[in-house]
Every structure is written in structure tokens, then in C-alpha cells.
Amino acid sequence: MDSSPKLIIVGGSIATGKTTVSKFVAEKTGFVRIALDEIKEALFDVGGFKDRAWSKEIGAATHPVFRQLIQMYLSRGESVIADATFIWADDRIWLQDFSSKHNAELIQIWMTADPQVARQRFLERSLTTRHPGHCDSIETVINEFDERYFSKRIDPLLMDVRTCVVDTTDDKPIDLGAVIKFLNE
């Protein structure tokens, strides 16, 4: 049996189902789940929140914590599920570095949806379940998010690793069993 840890990234654009999938995978595998947004929200709960600029500062401070937690678990030989958008070029560099350094199998679950469907989900979520610390009320972020997330489909970050693409455009329940089957292949 292979005892090398796994680094499973659950990435993709916003409002595509990353949290749903990463929580399910963690539940079924028993692997540690580290979610960038949840770290950021914990910091808001402790330190408060005020405006979009502050939210971005906290977000920038959260990334090193996110990476350190992932590296800590991998260094112990534990598998990790990492939940974030993973759309930045430097994400590829540090993920591949961690994988190599800790002899971890890097696996990608890439969440996608038609950008206009994801945009509608984002609009609905911003009015209901989104933590207020993100300060991503529609009027403060919609132009930024339209340009960054909702003007195009975002391709998987890593092209050279085992990848499962999950398209949630049709709004049917995600086939979580198929995701677990992919991970067990």
C-alpha cells in the first residue's frame, strides 16, 4: 500500500461548489481539509471587518497561513484537501513544490460552471449565506468579479496531474460518488 500523502486541491471559480465537494471528500476520506475562506472568516470573527480594502488585506495575510497549514500536515505524512480558487500562476509553483518536497501525490478536482450561472449563484449567495467580512456585497465587487470570474471559464490550474473536472452548470446535485471513485482510481 502506498503510504505517500496526497495533496488534493479542490479549485475553480467562485460559486461552483468547491466547499460542497471538499467537505464531502474530507468526510469520506478522513483527510484534513483546509479551506482558505474559512481561515479568512475565522480572522474576521476574531479581528472584525470593515470594508472591501480591509477584506483584501486579510485575504493577503491568509494565504501564507493557508500554505503553512498545508505544508505542516504534509510534513507529518498526512494527506490534505486544500479548498481555494487556485487561479493564480504562483499557486502552481508552490503546490508543485510542496508535492515534490513531501513526496505527495498532487491531485486536482476542478470545479467549473458556465460563468453566468456562477454569477447568478454568487449574487444569491452574497445576499444570504456569505460571511459579511468578505465585504463582497454586490455593489462593491460585481464589476471586479465580472472581470475576474464571470467573463470567462477558468481552466484547471494544473495540466500535468490527475484531474477530475466537475461541471455544475446544470444545477443538478453533484455526483459526489463519482468524485470519490476518481480519487480511488
String of b and e for 66-75 (b: at least 16 CB within 10 Å)? bbebbbebbe
What distance in Å separates the CA atoms of residue 87 and residue 117, rounded to the nearest whole number? 19
Q: From first to last of the 185 residues of the chain, give the pLDDT tens digit.
A: 357 999 999 999 999 999 999 999 999 999 999 999 999 988 888 877 777 777 788 888 899 999 999 999 999 999 999 999 998 889 999 999 999 999 999 999 999 999 999 999 988 877 776 666 655 556 667 788 888 888 888 889 878 899 999 999 998 999 999 999 999 98
Q: What is the DSSP letter of 139?
A: H
The structural domains of the chain, ordered by start, are: 6-184 (3.40.50.300)
CB of 36 closer than 8 Å to CB of 63: yes
pLDDT of 130:
66
pLDDT of 47:
79
How many CB atoms are closer than 10 A to CB 103? 11
pLDDT of 1:
39
Which residues are bridge partners to 165 per DSSP? 110
Instruction: State how far the alpha carbon of 75 is from the alpha carbons of 4, 24, 94, 102, 181, in Å.
Output: 11, 24, 14, 6, 26
Q: What is the DSSP letter of 17?
A: S
Q: Say whether 172 sits in a helix, a strand or coil.
A: coil
